[in-house]
Structure 1
């Protein structure tokens, strides 16, 4: 047997071999989340920031008009305003009663009455306005203006007699003014409203008795009033 020689020098490193296959994944380690800590104190509120610039108005279609609501209750009446200045005085109007007259007989006259009638003279207390005139016998009055007239008369005798009284218009008896009692009377009163033409005559008459009628003295034994109404 031959003797062992000296160890030779180390040979060069061989090339690296291929990587071996990956081993299987090991089991997941134990994991545990700790408990949530206590919430800390709220910090001091910061200063308010500067307001931003107002944005431009949006452009949108006008909405549909809604139904009109119910009318509210009427409000309280306001205070009365200051009275205005008095207006100018108007023109003077035409008086419709400018034509009027009154006449009476206060003499206690005795009147001889005939069946067809006797006119009663009225010479006392005459107050005859324009537009009316009386004749010389004081028993016939004439109205110069056409229109509506109020006419009234009265007779007061010293004793009761069975006779009648009436107005004559242009010499014709006016039925509406006629009083024909069935018993003796001493007082007669009547009034009418008549439409008369210009220059119509008016007279007061006693009729229906052949005898004498005596008017009371120092009072309105007879009276006639004529008023133009227009």
Structure 2
């Protein structure tokens, strides 16, 4: 378990969750920072720095350390901060040592600008293939998956710094009917996807946050937390 000083530093350099003095005291500002981090990572937002929050922060810091090329010990010390700033400089970003949206967007290749031909930087065309298994269609009844949808998914991926699993992409008429989809479903038009993000979509709060992000990034409709959706989040444009 990280000490208060150690997790204050980690929180300070991840989206600037903690903005106070690194004093090793778990006061109101530190608790608020923990809650902000928990919200960003889809955890229960109780402000308590327990085992789950600790494991999540250590994992995040290790990922950052891997990106910037230093020892992966999960502790955001001076060497890690210096390496973050060096990476920001190399990427043409503000060198503040904070791994925020621009840092993660750059790490993920700014995929939102590359969506074309039914694929993007981190999503292959085949990930959206109809799951009828070729029984009723060629897999792509709508042709290429909509570029705007891909852009939204790239931004969500950049926000979390985690892979986004496509559980349902395009659907032909017969497969859509088999799974109980609406007859006018956007899945049939290549404009919808049901997604899952490990460590985020495992809680109702995490799924709700993904829905909010989808709307923020331009989704026409998004929902989750129904019996039919399970741990998936629906997004369409």
Normalising by the residue count of structure 1, what TM-score does the alignment of the two structures yield?
Answer: 0.23
- The structure whose residues are more often helix, as a share, is 2
Higher gyration radius (CA): 1
Using CA pairs below 8 Å that are at least 6 residues apart, which structure has the higher relative contact order?
Answer: 1
Normalising by the residue count of structure 2, what TM-score does the alignment of the two structures yield?
Answer: 0.23
- The structure whose residues are more often strand, as a share, is 1
